[in-house]
Structure 1
Amino acid sequence: MDIERINDNTVKFYISYLDVEERGFSRDEIWFNRDKSEELFWEMMDEVNEEADFVMEGPLWIQVQAMDKGLEVTVTRAQLTKDGQKLDMPDDIEERRKMFANEDSDAAGTEFDEFEPVFNEPDTKKLEYTFMLSEVEELVPLSRRLQYVPIETALYHFEGKYYLHISFDDILHSDEDIKDHLSVLSEYLPPSSVTIHRLEEYGKEIFKKDALSNVLHYFG
């Protein structure tokens, strides 16, 4: 986990999804299980406190940005008035920039639109799935059945198994389309919780794209 101390009140840290998994959490857990997401957050904050000497006193503003291969989290201690009341986040973006500006630099800080408690993922449909198989040839009948379906597919070998990663296009595929295609996929292959980030990092790439078409061409 990479940690950056912005100023006395703000710290920013980045954690990869691989690191999240190595800590015993799944990607779905941190988005949809509040207890697990809070457990991970406070575990990371303990590490931040040790490495960046960032003491957690009083209310905190937390902003989480989901990135391709991990999470960027910004935590700011809320400023309190003399009577102990929490100051609200400024509505003016320039004031927000001042709050998050590095004290050692004249450059403006990152713009933040809002602060959400722990991890709140936008309401978007899931577009990526992973399935497991033992032999590449198992994909041949599935490849024939889906050969005219416009989906992105990749194939990896990892820890003695093969993994088919499926990506749907949110423009080409409706929720009903995705449900129908997943039903077909599930007829042939069991789903897997192994993420594409782990496969890219540690797996052997067989086909980075057009996996089903390539399997049909070479093994069909």
Structure 2
Amino acid sequence: MEIERINENTVKFYLSYGDIEDRGFSKEDVWYNRDKSEELFWDMMDELGDDTEFEVEGPLWIQVNAMNEGIEVIVTRAHLPKNAESSQFPFGIEDPEELFDPIFDAINETEEDSEEEVQVNDKLFVFRDFDELIPLASQMASLEDPFETQLYAFEGRYYLNLRFDYTLIDTKRAKDIISMITEYGILSKMSIHRIEEYGTAVMESDAFAQIDKYFS
């Protein structure tokens, strides 16, 4: 395994599939066995050692890239703004082991992406209150751009999933739409798969149109 310290808050791991097997895991364990994936991740973190001065505290942002010969994992330690609550972040400071669902969902998604060019992309946004969605929906409901929306409730927050098909919309326009939404909500690092499994579906389609119709 290769470890590279990018800066004081970021570290990068590279594991070949041989490295993974040497640790007693298989490629299938990483892709499909959440407990094994969790064990592998903490095994990696344990190898950082005291010299790196990289402590697992506060929210961590994770980027996972699947490659032909192995996986690359970039871990960034974020800093809580003053007066911020840990619940505003996808990974709370109280329980860093909550990392694993989103981390290894991301690995699975990346593996699938490597097999074929994926043109459908999900963006997940989190809102503290339903009322934050009402003025946003008034703006978005009139747009004729091709995208899908679903709304979920999970742990006292509302999650809006925005799905683009990039065969139908160009990247610049998609970024414009994302910017409009981030004026009201926060782009979440939570996996849509986790939200679909553990959250409650509030609106399964056309969320903006429904909110605008019934609440504006």
TM-score by length of 2: 0.50
Residue 64 of structure 1 corresponds to which residue in structure 2?
none
1:184 alignment partner, one of 168, 176, 180: 180
Residue 191 of structure 2 corresponds to which residue in structure 1?
195
Residue 167 of structure 2 corresponds to which residue in structure 1?
171
Tell me, yes or no, if the aligned pair for 1:143 and 1:212 is still in contact at 8 Å: yes
> Where is the helix percentage greater, Structure 1 or Structure 2?
2
Q: Secondary structure at the match of 2:186?
A: coil
1:205 alignment partner, one of 201, 205, 216: 201
1:129 alignment partner, one of 123, 128, 141: 123
Separation in 2 of the partners of 1:155 and 1:129? 12
Q: Which amino acid is 1:200 matched to?
A: E
2:147 alignment partner, one of 151, 166, 186: 151
Instruction: Give 1:137 deviation, angstroms.
Output: 2.1
Instruction: Give 1:171 deviation, angstroms.
Output: 2.3
The 1:181/1:72 distance shift into structure 2, 3 A limit, reads: closer
Please tell me whether Structure 1 or Structure 2 has the larger radius of gyration of its CA atoms: 1
Q: Which amino acid is 1:144 matched to?
A: S
Identity %: 30
The 1:179/1:39 distance shift into structure 2, 3 A limit, reads: closer
Residue 47 of structure 1 corresponds to which residue in structure 2?
none
* Structure 1 runs, 4 residues or longer, greater than 4 Å off: 16-28, 119-126
Separation in 2 of the partners of 1:215 and 1:158? 18
Instruction: Give 1:185 deviation, angstroms.
Output: 1.0
The 1:164/1:72 distance shift into structure 2, 3 A limit, reads: closer
Q: Deviations over 1:25-65 (max 9, x none)?
A: 9996222799x93569xxxxxxxxxxxxxxxxxxxxxxxxx
Q: Deviations over 1:155-207 (max 9, x none)?
A: 11111111011011212210110111111111111111111100111001101
The 1:155/1:17 distance shift into structure 2, 3 A limit, reads: farther
Equivalent residue runs for 1:70-85 within 5 Å: 70=108
Q: Which amino acid is 1:164 matched to?
A: L
The 1:162/1:145 distance shift into structure 2, 3 A limit, reads: same
Separation in 2 of the partners of 1:156 and 1:207? 7
More displaced 10-residue stretch of structure 1: 17-26 or 121-130? 17-26
1:13 alignment partner, one of 28, 43, 47: 28
**Structure 2 unaligned regions, length at least 5:** 1-25, 43-59, 75-104
Q: Deviations over 1:129-148 (max 9, x none)?
A: 11111222211111111113
Q: Which amino acid is 1:201 matched to?
A: E
TM-score by length of 1: 0.49
Tell me, yes or no, if the aligned pair for 1:29 and 1:37 is still in contact at 8 Å: no
> Where is the strand percentage greater, Structure 1 or Structure 2?
2
Separation in 2 of the partners of 1:204 and 1:129? 18
